[in-house]
Structure 1
Amino acid sequence: MTLETMNTISDRVHAQLDRVTEIWKQALGEALTGVYLHGSLVLGAFREGVSDLDLLVVCRERLPREKRLEIVRQIMEADGKPCPLEMSAVCLSDLRPWRHPVRCQFHYSDFWTARYREMLSGKIGAHFLLDEDFEDPDITCHVKLTRQSGICLYGEAIDTVFPPVPEVDFWQSISADVHDYDFNAYEPRYFASNILILGRVLSYKVEHRILSKYEAGVWTAEHVPEALRPVVLDALDAWYTGREMRETDPALLDALKNYLIDAIEN
């Protein structure tokens, strides 16, 4: 299986990153602190057609509702060409001084695409994505990964923008809801990914480093009981090839989930 880095991605992916960066530059001008890449691409585990492009944007001012609508309209046009986009924008003043959870003032992912279409068409009026800055524990994860492995696509240097993340905040952000973790959360295509993510939480607890989903899948397969290993390996192959997972005994899935949760919590 061939996984890609920033140096090996296609011209189409480079063009998509350039387009998204330009959208933010044109929308914010001097109020844009920077656009930063994190996620699978910076960890060397990117696969076009499967992986998202993960971006974190930092602004010097609050975004009014009209500006958020203007930006999301253009982001939706760039989404899926060729990669799914996932991004959050935060205000610089919400990063320094550091406080967890960080307030998010713009978020986009395919989970919200249909809802954004309804907002743009006027079918939905007030909505927190447009009208509020909301606390988002996931920003803590994004900041830590950006400091560890991120790439600045535009703007100020990573170390000058993002403060160190206290370990207690990062661990809380990735483990707070682990007891109620559900492999079936979100759309069915995320089933394999959800298995890998739970293993990724455990790998951080042991290794104290954020691994890619691929690295975490390999790591998890090596650290679970032998009877559970095929489930992890199947999830790894399914996620990175884009196929559905093979039919698996529900008892094995429950055993894997319980094993990982116990190891994380204890």
Structure 2
Amino acid sequence: MPTPHTQHLLPLLHRTLGTTVLGICLHGSATLCGLRPHSDIDVLVVVRDSMTHPQRRALVQELLKVSGTSVTDSRPVELIVVVQDDIRPWRYPPTCDFLYGEWLRDDYERGLVPAREPMPDLAPLLTMALNGDAPLYGPPPAELLDPVPHDDLRRAVVAGVPQLVAELDTDTRNVLLTLARVWTTLATGAIRSKDAAADWALPRLPAEHRPVLAHARAVYLGEQTEDWTSLRGGVRSCAEFLVRAIDGHRL
């Protein structure tokens, strides 16, 4: 069922993609724990046919107008489109047909049009969509998607670690919380919200690293402002510990 944050997206998607749409559902924070102050609205669209170039260009332009504006209560939209035949039957790595995320806004405004490409991150995303079972249009996700094998889920969450570490200085909160979630997923098999992953990881961290991750969690929950001045010296060592913990659980 559409929510106040998503009801405007459905006509936009149907207008842009037409009758190829098989289903639209939520995933991410909205299905794991409820939207947090810094949460995106994470939407997965399953289509019958790959998008055309005009459709891609039109969808980017539509999303630029609504993502992170008053239309979505200032929440950014992360939208993924997958072709059903690309992910059912399941194979690794899965293919993403279209990706929109606010971190790419500058590129979109310069004319970038998202293309089809392999995307390991689809494995946890599809798993969250299946577990969340939150259709906005069409049947339950389980009628459109195959379950992701556990080994492929583990491979996928690890695949993005180098890119995360490269973004530590520019996206500190998100990188630390995502590393904690990767560690949690590898250790427990469960995909948790970022704050729940931090709750799991904090008592397992050496004492000197806990203030860094605790601050990332508090900012994510809207309990503190994002100011790393007093903690900056410990950010990289905390991230390095999380990466070593992840390495200890690799296949």
TM norm structure 1: 0.84
Q: Is the 8 A contact 2:31 2:128 kept in 1?
A: no
Determine the structure 1 residue equivalent to 2:137: 154
CA distance in 1, matches of 2:215, 2:106: 30
1:172-229 superposed Cα distances (whole Å, 9 cap, x missing partner): 111125367427448x3x3112111101111112221100001011111121112221
Report the residue type matching 1:44 in the other structure.
Answer: C
Corresponding residue SS for 1:90: strand
How far off its partner does 1:22 sit? 1.7
Task: Tell me the CA shift for residue 247 of structure 1.
Answer: 2.1
Tell me what 2:219 maps to: 238
Q: Write the letter of the residue equivalent to 1:149.
A: G
| Runs of 5+ unmatched residues, structure 1 | 1-5, 7-12, 120-126
- 1:147 maps to a residue whose letter is L
The Cα shift of 1:243 comes to 2.0
Question: What is aligned with 2:99?
Answer: 107
Q: Following TM superposition, by how much is the alpha carbon of 1:26 offset from its aligned partner in structure 2, in angstroms?
A: 2.2
Match of 2:53 in 1: 65
Kept after mapping to 1: 8 A contact 2:47/2:82: yes
The residue type paired with residue 227 of structure 1 is E
CA distance in 1, matches of 2:159, 2:57: 32
Change in Cα spacing, 1:24 to 1:227, as seen in structure 2 (3 Å) is same
CA drift of 1:88 comes to 0.9
Give the direction of change, closer, same or farther, for the CA distance of 1:230–1:72 in structure 2 (3 Å limit).
Answer: same
Counting aligned pairs with the same residue, the percent is: 26
1:74 pairs with 2:62: yes
Matched pairs, number: 243
Work out which of the residue numbers 2, 15, 18 in structure 2 matches 1:29: 18
1:51 corresponds to: 39
Whole-angstrom CA distance in 2 between matches of 1:45 and 1:233: 20
Q: CA RMSD in A?
A: 2.2
Q: Greater shift after overlay, 146-155 or 31-40?
A: 146-155
Unaligned runs of 5+ in 2: none
Work out the CA distance in 2 between the residues paired with 1:147 and 1:251: 40
